[in-house]
Structure 1
Amino acid sequence: MHQRLKYLYHRFLKGNCTDVEYQELIALMDFLKDDPVLHELLDESWPILIENESTLPIDRAAAIYQRIVKEPQLKHRMFHKWKLYAAASLLLVAIGTIFYFYTDNLLNRSQTYSKNASIEDVEPGTTKAILTLASGKKIDLNNAAIDMQEAQSNLRIRKPNAGSVTLSLSEYANNNLQNEVEWNTITTPKGGMFNIVLPDSSQVFLNASSSISFPTNFAQHEREIKLTGEAYFEVERHKDIKGNSNVPFIVHVGSQLIEVLGTKFNVAAYTETPSIVTTLLSGAVKVTMGQGKEQSKDAVILKPGEQSRANKNSHKITVHEADIEESMAWKDGYFLFNNEPLKQIMEKITRWYNVEVSYEGNVDSIRFLGIYDRSKSLRKLLKDLEQTGKVHFDLIPDENTTKGRRVIVTAR
């Protein structure tokens, strides 16, 4: 993210920024307003920006800067006056006259929630998941004991901290690898996420409304799991029982097969999306469409920094350069919208805040670019999006509570 900020900032100083890049720069400065890297960039650019000092009084610049990045009162600000001025000047130039429209109407647009004031806000998602054993027994991992043994499934469950679970097999299970394969499943609901360490020491970070299934015993020649939704993997290399070779780690995702040895990658495969997206951070993975007799002979091998998109209908796989920060934003605790259609954004909001969404009017052409903290409440996030002037949101409570569980989206 810092590299992207520096890249856009220097493009701006050279006068080479596109309109979309201007918007992205503003969003990054807002998100990183307390970051020392941003402060250093402002220090560096002071000789360039100070030339415009006579065109904007320092108190006006400070007020503008506060509105853009929501800084505290001036007496508590972190920047010196000249830094405030530099940042304000940069942002003023970047968005030109549109900014004045924004500042003049900011308070008016923020009042659009007044009629929703009595509706209880929706807090962001938290760590929560359910483990369903092969026997059918369900365990709420949030409320499970810190260290427990499930004799029937030969599984030991340990919780090193909240939101994380470490799984290991008993000695009996490790010595009886030929048993019939049965599957355990960990599921996160809407508004939930969880970190799982599998019996082979591989880590899985499970996003909201997702599930991972793993066998009660990994086979000697391969480690197979099944995924729905989205997860980030850090796969450990694992030798066979004789210690001679690496055992492949295979992820079944719908009609797609991902084969790895030791690597870090993210897979997004929600039911409502048209493609299965695999993003590789390190190592190598082999991506194939179809399984068994229907498995395609056409496979792609991804290199670090590449991303495959497997169309669920055509079964065609394309490979692109990956935007790692965008793919990993959910795991790092924020939403990153890169000129993203509003409906796709609302799908993410639906999963994380566990709400329903309906639309009034045509919103197909509305897109957003920005970075938003996933720890914000729903009302705060929607208010930020609404301040662009593109869209209006209404929170509607469900039948039994005052909590705003339904969002009505209206194009402006």
Structure 2
Amino acid sequence: MMGEKDYRKLFEKYLNGDYTAEELKEILAFFQVERSGNTLEQLVEDYLANDAVVSQTDEDSVRRVVHQTDQAIHAALQARRQRRRFQLSYWPYVAASILIVLSVSFGIYRYYGAPATQPALVSDHTGDIPPGGNRATLTLSDGRTIVLDGARGEIVIGNEVTYTDGSRVISNPSLSLQLTTPKGGTYQVTLPDSSKVWLNASSTLTYPNNFNGHERTVYLEGEAYFAVRGLTSSVGPHKELHKVPFKVVSKGHSVEVKGTEFNVSAYADEAAVMTTLVEGQVSVLADGSTTTLTAGQQSVSTGGTMHVHAVNPVLFTAWKDGMFIFEDETLENIMQRVARWYDVEIEYQGVNKEELYTGSFSRYENVSGVLNNLAFAGDLTYTIKERRIIISKAD
């Protein structure tokens, strides 16, 4: 176990981004052991007290950054546990997601300019709005619709549709199934080849109840994270099926893989289709061209063109682990995600929607918590009227 001086020195290096991969693994392992105690809170409190940027820190601010840091570390550790072949190259992405949180004392910062000295006040607050949750419907090819149990949050597709505890949703399902999440909904499905899909809010996934051995093709509108079973996991009853390429088709855009993890965002109300690769390799077919992505790359297809660039995948996949994490994102893009998750409409009054923000927040807090952070960082005020949020400049 690290001594007090050791972990304080390592934590300081970690905040400054001056660490090796081995040191990062050591500090994350330390957090995993100590996260239930007071060590993390004390480290963050010391950091805030000594940070020249933050001249005054109240208890609420400390609690907020501790909570956000803990959320980021928890999400990182969960992601690590879920990976059967966790590679060292992923650690910089984990580090980046945590450092984004740790470098933002009050949750969210603007890209330029100083934050407001006091949080903006809510001018009219007629009721807070809770976060989304596990909500989805399953539609059969004959038109029948089944409202899925939100408390279970995951179904398994095959000759029967069941929840993960084995209880039956429906016997002898139709050849084609459609899983749909509303605004404020998310759900997880295990496909007939044991691949897993996490469906984000306001999304639809269409797929067969059994793959025929010649192709594994699903259709997506909206956003989903895919963990596709491939050749390296070809065991059990689906051994031969795993040799068949897996395709995700959306808005004239196709992603083809054999086994990997990636995120596809293809909302109908957004011009671009984005494919973000977490691990493995995929081929992206769009706009008459084909390109191959490797881990840490993203393709953006829009307006008849496609380009590829390096990204931090955590920024585009944190949603499935219960976090919003963004870096240099416009207010409009952030609020578009907020609108889908909280099932609200957004109205702007005299606000620069292109202003850039960096920060993070949990997807499990009420919308007021998110808006208070934005208001504080951007010198904004907001009004909640039923399911409409009006954002304006603070006086």
C-alpha displacement of 1:367: 2.2
Q: 2:254 aligns with which of 247, 250, 257?
A: 257
Q: Are 2:154 and 2:188, in contact at CA under 8 Å, matched by a contact in 1?
A: no
Q: Are 1:166 and 1:196, in contact at CA under 8 Å, matched by a contact in 2?
A: no
What is residue 204 of structure 2 aligned with on the other side?
Answer: 211
Per-residue deviation, residues 365-404 of structure 1 (Å, max 9, x unmatched): 322211111111012211121112432211112xxxxxxx
1:131 maps onto 2:138 in alignment? yes
Normalising to structure 2: TM-score of the pair?
0.69
Q: 2:281 aligns with which of 279, 284, 289?
A: 284
**Cα RMSD for the two superposed structures:** 4.3
Q: How does 1:84-123 map to 2 (within 5 A)?
A: 102-103=116-117, 105-106=118-119, 109=120, 112-113=121-122, 115-116=124-125, 119-123=126-130
Q: Are 2:223 and 2:265, in contact at CA under 8 Å, matched by a contact in 1?
A: yes
C-alpha displacement of 1:216: 3.6
C-alpha displacement of 1:157: 1.6
C-alpha displacement of 1:160: 2.1
Per-residue deviation, residues 246-300 of structure 1 (Å, max 9, x unmatched): 111111011101100011111111122221111111111100015xxxxx2x211
Q: Are 1:167 and 1:198, in contact at CA under 8 Å, matched by a contact in 2?
A: no
What is residue 237 of structure 1 aligned with on the other side?
Answer: 230
Question: More displaced, 351-360 or 201-210?
Answer: 351-360
Cα distance in 2 between the residues matched to 1:283 and 1:148:
25
SS in 2 for 1:264: strand
| Aligned residue type for 1:275 | A
Q: Are 2:134 and 2:153, in contact at CA under 8 Å, matched by a contact in 1?
A: no
Structure 1's 158 and 41: CA in aligned 2 closer, same or farther, altered over 3 A? same
Q: 1:409 aligns with which of 378, 391, 394?
A: 391
Q: 1:248 aligns with which of 242, 245, 248?
A: 245
Q: Are 2:179 and 2:206, in contact at CA under 8 Å, matched by a contact in 1?
A: yes
C-alpha displacement of 1:67: 4.5
What is residue 328 of structure 1 aligned with on the other side?
Answer: 317
1:202 maps onto 2:195 in alignment? yes
C-alpha displacement of 1:66: 2.2
Q: 2:339 aligns with which of 342, 350, 371?
A: 350
Structure 1's 35 and 267: CA in aligned 2 closer, same or farther, altered over 3 A? farther
Q: Taking CA–CA contacts closer than 8 Å with sequence separation of 6 or more, which of the two structures ends up with the larger relative contact order?
A: 2
1:159 maps onto 2:163 in alignment? yes
Q: 1:191 aligns with which of 170, 184, 195?
A: 184
Cα distance in 2 between the residues matched to 1:67 and 1:385:
16
Once superposed, which parts of structure 1, at least 4 consecutive aligned residues long, lie more than 4 Å away? 5-8, 32-43, 98-103, 143-150, 164-170, 238-242
Per-residue deviation, residues 341-382 of structure 1 (Å, max 9, x unmatched): 111111111100001112222423322211111111012211
SS in 2 for 1:221: coil
Structure 1's 320 and 148: CA in aligned 2 closer, same or farther, altered over 3 A? closer
Cα distance in 1 between the residues matched to 2:334 and 2:179:
25
| Aligned residue type for 1:261 | K
Q: 2:383 aligns with which of 388, 394, 406?
A: 394
C-alpha displacement of 1:227: 0.4
Q: Are 1:160 and 1:166, in contact at CA under 8 Å, matched by a contact in 2?
A: no
Task: Report how many aligned residue pairs link the two structures.
Answer: 322
Structure 1's 35 and 323: CA in aligned 2 closer, same or farther, altered over 3 A? farther
Cα distance in 2 between the residues matched to 1:388 and 1:165:
47
What is residue 378 of structure 1 aligned with on the other side?
Answer: 367
Cα distance in 2 between the residues matched to 1:196 and 1:71:
33
Cα distance in 1 between the residues matched to 2:224 and 2:147:
20
Q: 2:61 aligns with which of 49, 63, 68?
A: 68
What is residue 300 of structure 1 aligned with on the other side?
Answer: 291
Cα distance in 1 between the residues matched to 2:116 and 2:178:
48
Cα distance in 1 between the residues matched to 2:167 and 2:340:
22
Structure 1's 6 and 182: CA in aligned 2 closer, same or farther, altered over 3 A? farther
C-alpha displacement of 1:168: 10
Structure 1's 40 and 393: CA in aligned 2 closer, same or farther, altered over 3 A? closer
1:9 maps onto 2:15 in alignment? yes
C-alpha displacement of 1:101: 7.6
Cα distance in 1 between the residues matched to 2:188 and 2:149:
12
